[in-house]
Amino acid sequence: MFDLALFVIFPYVALVLEIAVSFYRYFNGSYKFSSLSSEFLEGRELFWGSQPWHYGILFVLVGHVVGFLFPKEVLLFNEVPVRRLILEVTALTFGLMALVGLLVLIRRRFTNDRVWAVTAKMDLFVLFLLLIQTFSGIYIAVQYRWGSSWYASALVPYLRSLFVLKPNLEYIAPMPWVVKLHIANAYCLIAVLPFTRLVHFLVLPVSYVWRSWQVVIWNWDRKKIRKV
């Protein structure tokens, strides 16, 4: 029953919240869609926190997505023990990098008066969730080895069953509690995302790459030129 609420109902609620609230907030004043950078108030410590955190978590996140999209290929890749070892060690390194970065960021937020002045309650909540997520992830990676393989074979089917609207709890039930925590906490993060500064990741400025350097906005329709 508890599993049903946490791993079948909650993910849908979280996803609906994420999408609906993000859209609602974006189109009703996207003013707050940013990460509220505090680099201007403190720059040096941020470097040692933000860089390892972002690069670490990005690699790990992309890893999760790749595993979700191509489970067979991942399993095939992992058949050779050396390849599996390299993959696991790399992923763990990035995970540890993210954890170190996160700890630096948390320390910075609590010890720097200026940064504390721009810290909202929700920021602390997000940091708390992220800490649980990163820490449990690393714990799982160390404790239950070859996660890349059993994630692909045991968890991806569950995740996919959610996506095709035929939730299947078979795979979840026998999982250790840390793995369950990791999954439930991930849903938590998805649910709170649109309410927090995490929204900055929804508005990544990718269009900058192909945009022209200068932006000019005209008062009149340039194509419909006034008669001379």
Task: Determine which residue in the list 118, 124, 142, 169 makes contact with other proteins, applying CB under 8 A.
Answer: 118
> Rounded to the nearest whole angstrom, what is the least distance from the CB of residue 1 to other proteins in the complex?
32
> Rounded to the nearest whole angstrom, what is the least distance from the CB of residue 47 to other proteins in the complex?
5
State the distance between the two ends of the chain, measured CA to CA, in whole angstroms.
76
Query: Amino acid identity of 199?
Result: V
Nearest-angstrom CA–CA distance, 76 and 72: 6
- Residue span binding other proteins (CB under 8 A) among the ranges 41-49, 79-87, 154-162, 169-177: 41-49
- For residue 228, the Cα-to-chain-centroid distance in whole angstroms is 56
- For residue 117, the Cα-to-chain-centroid distance in whole angstroms is 25
Which structure tokens are listed for 114? Answer: 């200026």
Cβ–Cβ under 8 Å, residues 109 and 119: yes
- For residue 30, the Cα-to-chain-centroid distance in whole angstroms is 20
What interhelical angle do 177-192 and 121-143 show, nearest 10? 150
Query: Amino acid identity of 223?
Result: K
- Residue span binding other proteins (CB under 8 A) among the ranges 64-72, 127-135, 164-172, 190-198: 190-198
> Rounded to the nearest whole angstrom, what is the least distance from the CB of residue 11 to other proteins in the complex?
23
Phi-psi region of 36 (alpha: psi -120 to 50; beta: other; left: phi over 0): left
- Residue span binding other proteins (CB under 8 A) among the ranges 47-55, 68-76, 144-152, 153-161: 47-55
> Rounded to the nearest whole angstrom, what is the least distance from the CB of residue 75 to other proteins in the complex?
33
Locate all alpha helices (DSSP H) within 28-175, ordered by sequence.
44-69, 71-77, 81-111, 113-117, 121-143, 147-150, 156-163
Which structure tokens are listed for 45? Answer: 């410590």
Would you count residue 27 as binding other proteins (CB under 8 A)? no
Nearer to other proteins, 52 or 67 (CB): 52
Nearest-angstrom CA–CA distance, 209 and 123: 30
Nearer to other proteins, 79 or 113 (CB): 113
Would you count residue 46 as binding other proteins (CB under 8 A)? yes
> Rounded to the nearest whole angstrom, what is the least distance from the CB of residue 33 to other proteins in the complex?
6
Task: Determine which residue in the list 13, 23, 37, 61 makes contact with other proteins, applying CB under 8 A.
Answer: 37
Nearest-angstrom CA–CA distance, 204 and 201: 6
Task: Determine which residue in the list 121, 164, 174, 177 makes contact with other proteins, applying CB under 8 A.
Answer: 121
Would you count residue 221 as binding other proteins (CB under 8 A)? yes
Task: Determine which residue in the list 43, 62, 65, 69 makes contact with other proteins, applying CB under 8 A.
Answer: 43
Q: Which residue ranges make up the site for other proteins (CB under 8 A)?
A: 29-43, 46-47, 50-51, 53-55, 113-114, 116-118, 120-123, 195-197, 200, 203, 205, 207-209, 211, 213-222, 225-226, 228
